[in-house]
Chain A
Amino acid sequence: MRNKILSISVFLFFSIVFVIFFKGLKETNIYTPDLDIKKEIPFFHAKDFYTGKKLNTSDIFKLNQTYLLNIWSSWCVPCRKEHPLLLSLNENKKINIIGMNYKDNKINAEKFLKELGNPYKRVFEDLEGTIAIEWGAYGVPETFLIYNNKIIRKYIGPLNLNIIEEIKLLIK
């Protein structure tokens, strides 16, 4: 009798393990940390891209304003693709687009903006990629929507038309 109970419970246990593994297979295994939605923007120091002046968070981001922080680089191919979208979004006067130039070479970056146009109200440098880490970014391109010094949305990877529509809706 004891043996029977034992055997049945062992079979049952392994059946449960099977079901859990089976379900586990269907789920994505990409571990994304929880999105820091509505989090305060981090405090940081940076250099202005054109003037070389030292900046900090409060110089760039003001309360009661909407900002779009875009992390970009001249060597990043998807950045080139999303660039026209940023230019078109720039026509909307309600939003201020800020660029974070990530691990880039200054000459190439300037050439990039000259060739494709400059949608940014302000660009600052992040040569070592440390500021991007403070923002919790994974790489380039990445875009943050900011209102009232809080991160409203975070878009990993290049922007597309759907995202642009969503941003336009949000800033209304």
Chain B
Amino acid sequence: MIYSLVGYYSLVLGLIVGLTLFYFSFKNFNNATILNSKILSFTFLQFFFVVISFLCLIFSFVVSDFSNETVFNNSHTTKPLFYKISGTWGNHEGSLLLWLLVLTFFIFIFLLKTKNQPIKYKILTLVFQQVIIIGFFIFLIKTSNPFNYLFPIPVEGLGLNPILQDPALAIHPPILYLGYVGSSIIFSSVLSATALKMISISWATHIKKWILTSWIFLTLGILLGSIWAYYELGWGGFWFWDPVENVSLMPWLALTTLLHCIMVLEKKNILSSWTIILSIATFTLSMCGTFLVRSGILNSVHTFANDPERGVFILIFLFILIFLSLFIFFFFHKDNEKNSNQFFWLSKETSILINNWFMMYFLSVVLIGTVYPIFLDVISSEKISVGPPFYHKLIIPFLIPFLLMMAIGPKLKWIKSDFENKFYLICLLLISIFLAYFILKSFNQKILINTILISSALYLFFITIRDFFVKKYKNLSQNISHFGFSLLILSILFNNLFSSEIITNLKVGETFENSKVNIYFESIDSKKSKNYDSIIANFIIRNSNGEKDKLSPELRIYNQPVIATSEADIKTSLISDKFIVVNLVQNQDYFNVRYQVKPLMMWIWISVILISFGGLISLIKKKS
């Protein structure tokens, strides 16, 4: 009760601080020195209020204060403390409060860390950031107040959706939001730099840190979401091309492209239009993601609470931001014609540019696949859903030139390069082609495209490995990330090619057998936990090498709300994952058993970690 009051009023105070900051920055813009000392303390004050509000919501969850509507809808007294806390941001209202927390935190850190830039630039960035922050404050207070009061006070809450009760999902939203919202700083900063005409080499060096930071978080955030889907949803896959996954992938693609553009800008002072457009695109795509997920305009496996009123608000807000940034881009930005035509065909910047176009292509495929069903529905009332085959067919063939360019590009010099001492590049290419051919041949996979794909991924793999041992080579961070990427593509390819699946119905004591594997259904146990009851099925699996594994998938019946989930049991090793999940066949002694062997799953996670680790190294190197 008291927490709700404190939380609500600190939100209002935060909004007031935001409006004050906005007003005074505008009024004293031409006399900026007065503001310089004030803005930092005011921004801190705003951040402080949001922290208080956020803590209040957490406390309400911890003490199970059901007079708070959000707590009532998403918590229950029997839930473990960990999930009570993580439940704070597992719902719509709480997650928006988290957005706001990260927004205010980032602008505070930005002002604290930015010392060598002009004051006007800092203030203008703050103004743009406040536009976003104020928009979110109003959105939160008006349409999704996390502190709504309920009377009479309910005795018990409705509970948290069990599929959200998972450790990976507890940290997935905060990490992902750090990435999403980090892009807001890039957005504000790019707008103010454009308006002040100060897109330059020194600005690029300054903003690159922020791009790297949000890129690392976004990468890890997507990874965590993917891990959650793999372990919790029990479908045996890690990426489903679900709209909600796509909306996190789109900003990532834009941000990755931006990261490469900013490096070119930093070195050669070209591609400034690319940089501006991509910065705008990254943030608007993040916002667009919030819109698509929160408004319920899309149909998705992620069943969030929907409310059209919220949708209208975010939509209008999103387009205000889009039009504002387009206006600034078209009226203030004049591309430097002199520099932009100096591209030699064989140079590092040309290769980056080519891959940028590929990235834009991937981005548009994902964008069209996600948004086109909505358009079609509105225009012709026809409902379609776009599935994985669409994405696979359109993306996979273009990965081949993309991978080759990724391998060769870093070998080229800036401005102008030649073919001297590039003999090893051809050797490695031949080796990769032969290797790919023999791997596929020995496993009786004869499709041509697989050979080409695997050989191009192997090519990048070998070249990056070679570079780790070449002393002259200095760009370690880039090399780690590219190495991680080649590993990722290789693991995904082998995972797809060599996965196997068995679906059968078994009773206790029965055995399923084929030439490769023997599945014995040993017994059933039942267990009671604090927030669920479970049936545990024990299987003994022997493969043809005589290896024996014991796997025990579960069926859980959660008590609040009453939902049955099946928990897969997964034996993970470096080489492959053994994945088993059971389902009840209604009112029979049989269980439906799905057993999968998925090679190299572990390496998909490792390679994504490597990719973001490369970014981390680059960030640390910049600071020292």
- Interface residues, chain A, with chain B CB atoms under 8 Å away: 3, 6-7, 10-11, 14, 18, 20-27, 29-31, 103-105, 127-129
- State whether B298 touches A25 (Cβ < 8 A): no
Q: Smallest CB–CB gap between B410 and chain A, Å? A: 34
- State whether B319 touches A18 (Cβ < 8 A): yes
B residues contacting the other copy or chain, number (CB 8 A): 27
Which residue of B291, B378, B379 has the most chain A CB atoms within 10 A of its CB atom?
Answer: B378
- State whether A11 touches B587 (Cβ < 8 A): no
5 closest A-B pairs by CB: A7-B330, A103-B586, A25-B311, A24-B374, A18-B319
- State whether A21 touches B585 (Cβ < 8 A): no
**B335, closest chain A residue (CB):** A3
Do A14 and B297 contact each other (CB < 8 Å), given the known contacts A20-B374, A20-B379, A127-B587? no
Do A20 and B323 contact each other (CB < 8 Å), given the known contacts A25-B308, A129-B586? no
**B312, closest chain A residue (CB):** A25
- Interface residues, chain B, with chain A CB atoms under 8 Å away: 291, 295-299, 306, 308, 311-312, 315, 319, 322-323, 326, 330, 374-375, 377-379, 383, 385, 585-588
Q: From the candidates B298, B315, B588, name the one contacting A29 in the complex (CB within 8 A).
A: B298
Q: How far, in whole Å, are A129 and B315 apart by their CA atoms in the complex?
A: 42
Q: How far, in whole Å, are A169 and B585 apart by their CA atoms in the complex?
A: 40
Q: Smallest CB–CB gap between B314 and chain A, Å? A: 10
Q: Smallest CB–CB gap between B374 and chain A, Å? A: 5
- State whether A20 touches B375 (Cβ < 8 A): yes
Q: Smallest CB–CB gap between A52 and chain B, Å? A: 16
Q: Smallest CB–CB gap between B301 and chain A, Å? A: 13
Do A10 and B326 contact each other (CB < 8 Å), given the known contacts A22-B312, A127-B586? yes
- State whether A24 touches B587 (Cβ < 8 A): no
Q: How far, in whole Å, are A168 and B212 apart by their CA atoms in the complex?
A: 68
Give 10 A-B contacts (CB < 8 Å), ordered by A residue: A6-B330, A7-B330, A10-B326, A10-B330, A14-B323, A18-B319, A20-B375, A25-B312, A29-B297, A31-B299
**A22, closest chain B residue (CB):** B315
Q: Smallest CB–CB gap between B407 and chain A, Å? A: 35
- State whether B587 touches A18 (Cβ < 8 A): no
- State whether B315 touches A14 (Cβ < 8 A): no
- State whether B379 touches A26 (Cβ < 8 A): no
- State whether B383 touches A31 (Cβ < 8 A): yes
Q: From the candidates A6, A7, A105, name the one contacting B587 in the complex (CB within 8 A).
A: A105
- Chain B residues in 8 Å Cβ range of A129: 586
**A32, closest chain B residue (CB):** B383
- State whether B330 touches A24 (Cβ < 8 A): no
- State whether A24 touches B297 (Cβ < 8 A): yes
Q: Smallest CB–CB gap between B583 and chain A, Å? A: 12
Do A24 and B378 contact each other (CB < 8 Å), given the known contacts A31-B385, A103-B586? yes
**A126, closest chain B residue (CB):** B586
- Chain A residues in 8 Å Cβ range of B326: 7, 10-11, 14
- Chain A residues in 8 Å Cβ range of B299: 29-31
Q: From the candidates B297, B319, B375, B385, name the one contacting A25 in the complex (CB within 8 A).
A: B297
- Chain B residues in 8 Å Cβ range of A14: 319, 322-323, 326
Q: From the candidates B291, B319, B379, B585, name the one contacting A128 in the complex (CB within 8 A).
A: B585
- Chain A residues in 8 Å Cβ range of B586: 103-104, 127-129
- Chain B residues in 8 Å Cβ range of A24: 297, 374-375, 377-378
- Chain B residues in 8 Å Cβ range of A21: 291, 297, 315, 374
Q: Smallest CB–CB gap between A1 and chain B, Å? A: 13
- Chain A residues in 8 Å Cβ range of B323: 11, 14
Q: Smallest CB–CB gap between B557 and chain A, Å? A: 14
- State whether A3 touches B330 (Cβ < 8 A): yes
Q: Smallest CB–CB gap between A162 and chain B, Å? A: 25
- Chain A residues in 8 Å Cβ range of B588: 127
Q: Smallest CB–CB gap between B397 and chain A, Å? A: 28
- Chain B residues in 8 Å Cβ range of A26: 308
Q: How far, in whole Å, are A11 and B331 apart by their CA atoms in the complex?
A: 13
Q: Smallest CB–CB gap between B312 and chain A, Å? A: 6
Given contacts A11-B326, A20-B374, 16 further A-B contacts (CB under 8 A): A3-B330, A10-B326, A11-B323, A14-B319, A18-B319, A20-B375, A21-B374, A24-B374, A24-B375, A24-B377, A24-B378, A25-B315, A27-B377, A31-B385, A103-B586, A128-B585
Q: How far, in whole Å, are A162 and B322 apart by their CA atoms in the complex?
A: 48
- Chain A residues in 8 Å Cβ range of B308: 25-26
- State whether A23 touches B383 (Cβ < 8 A): no
Q: Smallest CB–CB gap between A125 and chain B, Å? A: 11
Q: How far, in whole Å, are A31 and B384 apart by their CA atoms in the complex?
A: 9
- Chain A residues in 8 Å Cβ range of B306: 29
**A103, closest chain B residue (CB):** B586
Q: How far, in whole Å, are A104 and B585 apart by their CA atoms in the complex?
A: 11
Q: How far, in whole Å, are A31 and B322 apart by their CA atoms in the complex?
A: 30
- Chain B residues in 8 Å Cβ range of A10: 326, 330
- State whether A18 touches B315 (Cβ < 8 A): yes
- State whether B378 touches A27 (Cβ < 8 A): yes
- Chain B residues in 8 Å Cβ range of A7: 326, 330
Which residue of A6, A25, A105 has the most chain B CB atoms within 10 A of its CB atom?
Answer: A25
- Chain B residues in 8 Å Cβ range of A22: 312, 315
- Chain A residues in 8 Å Cβ range of B291: 21
- Chain A residues in 8 Å Cβ range of B297: 21, 24-25, 29
Q: How far, in whole Å, are A22 and B375 apart by their CA atoms in the complex?
A: 11
**B586, closest chain A residue (CB):** A103
- State whether B378 touches A23 (Cβ < 8 A): yes
